[in-house]
Structures are given as structure tokens and as C-alpha cells.
Amino acid sequence: MQKDIILDSDQILVEQSRFITKVYGWMAFALGLTGLVAFYTAQSPELLSLIFSNSYGFWILFGLQIGIVVFLSARINKMSANTAIGSFLLYSVITGFVFSMLFLVFTMGSIASTFFITAGTFAVMSIIGYYTKTDLTSFGRIMMMALVGLIIASIANYFMNSSTLYWITTYAGILIFTGLIAYDTQKIKEMNIIGNEGTDDDKKEAIMGALCLYLDFINLFLLLLRLFGSRK
């Protein structure tokens, strides 16, 4: 008969801390990979031509991004940990290809400064989400509903091309993703199953947590770049 594993509170805190470290480690690695791919692609006329010479290249990459996120979300329980890791890293590489255009539009200095502003904001909100004793579930639901509204408004403005709506969605988006960072951090901390450290399930939990925070980070970065980015 298998014995129940009983962990004291200190052991639980230690295991939670190691899990969160893995989540942030994977997120940071993916962000670094995205940045390197974006920078390298921006220096390669051949790759830029392949991606942006017509609309098909960009939309294929965009479709792959959505497909990988859907695949990971829907199949995470049935796939191996290595498949989850590979899919996540592939997503970060594809995002790097797409983000290469940022280096063509904005100055390097403004991209760097916006990245550090995003990182600082992310760190503060993530600390709040990790240490707060307040249950952020209701707050998270509100943020998710607001995110749906933001997506609808952004799609509508793609056709309307309204500068007023553009800035409304920019400021609203910054507030939404800033709030989501705290909510998602708390959710990721609580989703860790104590006692399964080192297993495939533990690794997959860390990858899904890293993907969630990665998406929060890059969306906040893009919205802040609208405000602080200096165009070439």
C-alpha cells in the first residue's frame, strides 16, 4: 500500500518556492530567446523578406502562434513534458520572428527602456500577486471579461481606424494586463500540486505557468511600447 506523503508548512513553502522559480526561469528563458531571434531576424534581409515581403508570411506565423497556445492548453494533460517544453520554446521562437519588425519601426533605445519599464511593472505586480492574502479570483474574472472587451474593441478599430479608440484600448490594455499579472501569479502559485516535484506533471505545470506569464509580459510590453516607443 502506498503511504501518504505528509509535508509540514515549511516543506510546502520550500516546494512552492522551487516551483515558482522554475516557472520564472522558463519564462525568462523564453523571453530571452524571443529577443535574440527578433534581433537576429531584424539584421537579416533574407529573413525579413521571407516574413514580410507579403502578408502570407506574417499571417502564417500569427496562425502558428495561436495554434500552439490552443494546442498546449487543450492537450497539456495528454502530452509529455518534453513536448510541452518544445512547444513553448517553438512559440517563443515564432514570436521572435514576428517581433523582429519592432526593431524596424522603433529605436533600439526606446525598445530597451520600454522593456525595463515592463520588467519593473511585472516584478512589482508579480510580488503583490505572490504575497497577498487576498483572494484575487473575483478580480481576475473581471480582468478576463475586460480582456474580452479589449479584444473586441481592438478588432473593431482595425476596420474603424479611430485614433481615439486606439488610445482608449492602449490605456485600458495596460491596466488589464497589469492586473492580470498579479492574478495569474496567485493562480500559478496555487495550482502547484504539493508532493509531485520532479514529475512530468510538475514540469508541465511549470511550462503552463511560464506561458501564462510570458503572454502577460509581452502584451504589456507591446502596449507600453505604444506610449514610450520612439519611431525611426
Contact 98, 152 (CB under 8 A): no
Predicted local distance difference test score (pLDDT) of residue 91: 97
For residues 93 and 73, what is the distance between their CA atoms, to the nearest angstrom?
A: 18
Predicted local distance difference test score (pLDDT) of residue 8: 63
Residue-level length of the chain: 232
Predicted local distance difference test score (pLDDT) of residue 195: 64
Q: What is the pLDDT of residues 77-110, one digit of tens each?
A: 899 999 999 999 999 999 999 999 999 999 999 9
Predicted local distance difference test score (pLDDT) of residue 54: 78
What is the Cα 116 distance to its own chain's centre? 16
Contact 205, 19 (CB under 8 A): yes
Show pLDDT as tens, one digit a residue, over the chain (232 residues).
344 445 566 677 778 888 999 999 999 999 999 999 999 999 999 999 888 887 788 889 989 999 999 999 999 989 999 999 999 999 999 999 999 999 999 999 999 999 999 999 999 999 999 999 999 999 999 999 999 999 999 999 989 989 999 999 999 999 999 999 999 999 998 887 766 777 888 899 999 999 999 999 999 999 999 999 889 8
Angle (CA) 155-160-161 rounded to 5° is 95
For residues 4 and 191, what is the distance between their CA atoms, to the nearest angstrom?
A: 20
What is the sign of the dihedral through the CA atoms of 168, 171, 177 and 179? Answer: negative
Angle (CA) 66-72-78 rounded to 5° is 150
